[in-house]
Structure 1
């Protein structure tokens, strides 16, 4: 749909901002984390002076992640229109997992080769691998293998909420959204009392953390409802402000409360930018480069971290300066993401849509004459 081009192109921008943040920021600023996930030593790398120009004040990785969440909240109801709840979940499963598992496999191969290169042991816990592959690692209190799949785990929770509450998604039922927000905040408030039951606390803490972000994604759904003529502009603005407040409150009461002062502002900026682009959505036009990155945004997002970090460290260790090395790695990762998009992502997504088509929600019966 031409009027949805703004959301598609914003997805490409979001992916690029995340990659830039990781390669120009995290790579130098969180070297212990990068070393841990790539089975490589800490090299005490120092960023060249020009890298500081890539440190965009308000438009960093968290801003890109927030944009991704809003875009999902906006576009997912369009899929709900076409499918039953079961069909929708089936289609989304085929949309997410084949590409993700392929990217995870490539990343793990890269880390194995990294361990061999640096002559370090490749120690990978089987439970952690399995739970990461299923995107359930946070519920088990296990760390991410690739540092980016936490957003996919949140996406899955949003899909379940959408399938269960499809009437509220496709209609205008603010009380349902209010009930979801109240339930999430209540869960966050109840968590401290459950610390004495480790297993229950671990599962509910992981679930509560993900559901906090679902509240932010529901703001995107309000834009969908306005787009469909189900909400007035004033109701959209009011609902967005209330859900944003609920999201920040849930974040503040949850297990990630220490992140609020640092990261919450990026979500506010993302909402403002998304709202502005939505307001001028009719002015968006195809832009070949931007549309290209939008098309490959999902595999680019999932494959760039592990594979890119490994390549950067090895290429620099071989003597190539960072500026040249990062250009080589960007080209390689973009080419890999394009290949994954053309093969696995497109094929599996279309297959999932065909399967979901067999479970379409029946149309309403015509009224009796």
Structure 2
């Protein structure tokens, strides 16, 4: 998941609507994680396509990367680029992992039988590996969910974000539009094949061959399609773009599962169309949009500001919620919604506090230090 345009390139015109859309998608991710434990499986989750927000983040990230950096490589080294990315991404990674570690031993539930048998040294080892965003091997799985990052599950997408950043900086940034277009078409075919074969694109958070393949496939098309879009699109001026794009994002992510267990391919086609066609269209409209009131500017800025912190801090709270659900079998959405709402609001407040009291000051200090 990427960050605000203004952070990486203050001298260029800003796309505030894209920041706002990132915040909208981040909030939907939280609702997805809050409804996930109420389903009986991946076919009947209330926010069934919420995980596609990650693919939307990747596309936004590629667009931002191309816009912010494509014309700067004559005066910027790869090392300087990576330094900027680490300064922008890692402080919140460290906070998110630390929050997950603090809550680790307090999530008392039979759903994670390993937790209370894990020695402190092993938990700290997993935490320190998490600080680097490198995935842990399955032998170090201390929660029992086979996550790359047991302290904060969402770290898997940051791992693939870094891979995409490395590929961009060392190799793919040099591609011509034609070469990049061919690469993106091949990546789109691979994504559609995976989605239609599996019935969905959920996955990527486990360090094994199958899940790493899913993670790479989910990353390569949207990220580099976003890069291609940044090079080829000529934004116009579209009114009410934030409203329409927000509605489109919500419609895509809140759409119920299509086809059921009998016709998995139907859902795979839906997700392929969303990522390959609809998401680039949303980003193009968002980049073309104009904000007409100060209220719209404030909303987009707030949503953009909290989007990345919200993504990193919400899951440690969700672990407590999942434990509560698992300890109260048969909990319905009617019974759970007050607690879910509390987690959602608490996550937003925590994200804003983390932004103002930790993330922004730490990044400012790091920029001064590295400058």
Do both proteins adopt the same fold according to a TM-score greater than 0.5, normalized to the shorter chain? yes
Mapped pair 1:29 → 2:45 = no
Native 8 Å contact 2:107 2:319 kept in 1: no
SS at match of 1:115: coil
Report 1:139-288 matches (<5 A): 143-144=147-148, 145=150, 146-165=152-171, 167-168=173-174, 172-175=176-179, 178=182, 208-212=213-217, 213-227=219-233, 262=267, 265-270=270-275, 271-279=277-285, 281-285=288-292, 286-288=296-298
**Offset at residue 325 of structure 1 (A):** 1.7
RMSD (Å) for aligned C-alpha atoms: 4.2
Native 8 Å contact 2:126 2:136 kept in 1: no
**Residues 107-116 or 262-271, more deviating:** 262-271
Distance in 1, Cα, partners of 2:163 & 2:269: 21
Structure 2: tracts of 5 or more residues without a match: 1-11, 140-145, 191-206, 236-263
Native 8 Å contact 2:109 2:324 kept in 1: no
Residues 1:277 and 1:92: Cα distance change in structure 2 (over 3 Å): closer
Structure 1: tracts of 5 or more residues without a match: 34-51, 187-201, 230-258, 359-369
Mapped pair 1:88 → 2:81 = yes
Native 8 Å contact 1:111 1:310 kept in 2: no
Q: Report which of the two has the higher share of helix.
A: 1
Residues 1:263 and 1:9: Cα distance change in structure 2 (over 3 Å): farther
Residues 1:9 and 1:167: Cα distance change in structure 2 (over 3 Å): same
Paired position in structure 2 for 1:49:
none
Paired position in structure 2 for 1:6:
17
**Offset at residue 344 of structure 1 (A):** 2.6
Distance in 1, Cα, partners of 2:19 & 2:357: 20
Query: Which structure is larger by alpha-carbon Rg, 1 or 2?
Result: 1
Paired position in structure 1 for 2:57:
68
TM superposition score normalised by structure 1: 0.64
Q: Deviations over 1:184-220 (max 9, x none)?
A: 999xxxxxxxxxxxxxxx7776664443222321000
TM superposition score normalised by structure 2: 0.64
